[in-house]
Structure 1
Amino acid sequence: MVTLSRRYRYIGPAEILAGITPDDAGTPITAPRDFAGWVSTVPAPDLAEPFTFVVDLDGVLRLAPRRSEHVACAAGRDVLGAGEIAFVRQPPDEAGAGRLGWRVDEVSNQSTGYCPDLDSWPAVAAALDRAGLAHPDGFTAGFVFRRCPDCHQCNVVRDDDFVCALCGADLPERWNLDSG
C-alpha cells in the first residue's frame, strides 16, 4: 500500500454512495499499456474534456468519464487523491524514452465528495509516473477545502480568505474534512 498521502474518506451525500455499483468503478491504470488501451477506447470528442480520476489506496490511478462521481470511480472506497484530469497528445519526439504519446495537460484536486487537500499531489504524481504519463509539477488548479467548525459546512477557500461562506466563521488553516 502506498503511504505518500493521507487517506481520504468519502464525505459526500450518503445516497450517492448507496447508489454505486461495482460496474461504476473507474478503469485502473497500473502501467503505460493500461493507459494506451483505455485511451484507444475513448471517443475523440470525449478527449476534449477532463475526466474524473481517483488514486486508490494501492496507489493506482482510476479513470472515469467526467460526469462520474469520484466515489463511484473509487468503488466506494477511501482514496489517496481525487479530482479532474485532462490529457493531450504529444509529438513522439517530446514523449521521451518509456513515455506514452500522451501527457497530462490539466489536473486538479476538485472533488467535493472527498475534498482532498493539496498535499495529495505526491500520490497523484506517483500514480501518473506509474502510468507513464508526463505531467505538471503540481496541480494546475488546486482547491483548498475546509469544514467550518461552527456550522460544519464544507467550504472552498478562495484567495486565502479562510472565512465560512455560509456563517462567516473563521476557517482553520489546516485541512480538517476528516472531522465532523
Structure 2
Amino acid sequence: MHARRFSYVGPAEIRDEAVTVGAFAVRSATLLADWLAVRGSADLGEPLTFVVTLDGDLGLAPRRSEHVALAGGRDVLAAGEMMFARDASGWHVLEVTNQSTGYCPDPDCWPAVRESLDRLGIAHPGDFTAKVVFRCCPSCGERNIVRDGDFTCALCDSELPARWNFTSA
C-alpha cells in the first residue's frame, strides 16, 4: 500500500519562523523510555507533537512545537499529538490524534503511525483515540476542522467537501 504524503498547508510565516526545541527522533523503545523519563512528569501531563517522516521514522517534540519545524519543512506521512503513559510493562501510547493544523492530515494516515510504533515495539491503542476531520474550503481557502458532522466553512459558511481535499504530494 502506498502511503499518502501530507504537505504543509499552514501559514507561510509559521513555516518560515518555526523552531522546534527538544525534538527527538525515536530510534528505539529504550531510547524513547530514556527521553520520556528525562522529560519529567510535568511535561508528560500533556500530549507531545509528533510526525512520521517519509522514511517512516517517528519524531517527537514538546506540544507547543510546530509540526513543520519537527519535520524540517518536509512532507510527512502523519502528524498529530501523542500522549504516553507508563505501567509495569513500560511506556506505551495512551492517546494519539491526527491534530495538526499545519499539515491537516486525514485520519487515513493511521497506518503510518501504527507501522512506526510497531517497528519500535511501542504499544498503542490500535487507532487514533480522537480523529480530526480537516477540510479546505473551496470558496475561501480556509482550513477547517469539521465538528459534529457539520461540513460548513467556519469563515464563509460555504459547504465543505465530503472528502479530504488539501493539496498533497
Cα deviations by residue, 1:101-120 (Å, 9 ceiling, x for unpaired): 01111100000000000000
Residues matched between the structures, number:
168
Q: 1:4 to 1:65 in 2, by over 3 A?
A: farther
In the alignment, which residue of structure 1 is the partner of 2:78?
81
Q: 1:25, CA displacement in angstroms? A: 7.7
- Mapped to 2, the partners of 1:6 and 1:13 lie a distance apart of 21
Task: Point out the more displaced range, 56-65 or 31-40.
Answer: 31-40
Structure 1 distance, partners of 2:74, 2:115, is: 19
Unaligned 5+ runs, structure 1: 93-100
TM-score computed with the length of structure 1 as normaliser: 0.87
Note the alpha carbon deviations across 1:125-144, whole angstroms, 9 max, x for none. Answer: 11111222111121111100
Equivalent pair of 2:25/2:59 in contact (CA under 8 Å): yes
The one-letter amino acid paired with 2:150 is: D
Query: 2:84 touches 2:94 (CA, 8 Å); kept in 1?
Result: yes
Structure-2 residue corresponding to 1:39? 36
Q: Does residue 41 of structure 2 align to residue 52 of structure 1?
A: no
| Alpha-carbon distance, 1:4 to partner | 4.8
Does residue 5 of the first structure (1) align with residue 41 of the second (2)?
no
Please state how far the C-alpha of 1:31 moved relative to its aligned partner. Answer: 2.1
* TM-score normalised to structure 2 length: 0.92
* Separation (CA, whole Å) in 1 of partners of 2:22 and 2:74: 10
> What is residue 157 of structure 1 aligned with on the other side?
146
Conserved? CA contact 2:25–2:60, under 8 Å: yes
Which of 59, 78, 94 matches 1:62? 59
Distance 2:18 2:145 in 1: 26
Judge which range, 127-136 or 115-124, deviates more.
127-136
Task: Check whether the contact 1:83–1:109 (CA below 8 A) recurs between aligned residues.
Answer: yes
| Paired residues of 1:50 and 1:86 also in contact (CA < 8 A) | yes
Partner of 2:166: 177
Query: Which stretches in structure 2 are left out of the alignment for 5+ residues?
Result: none
Superposed CA deviations along residues 41-62 of structure 1, whole A, max 9, x for unmatched, are 2122111111000001000000
SS at structure 2 position matched to 1:41: helix
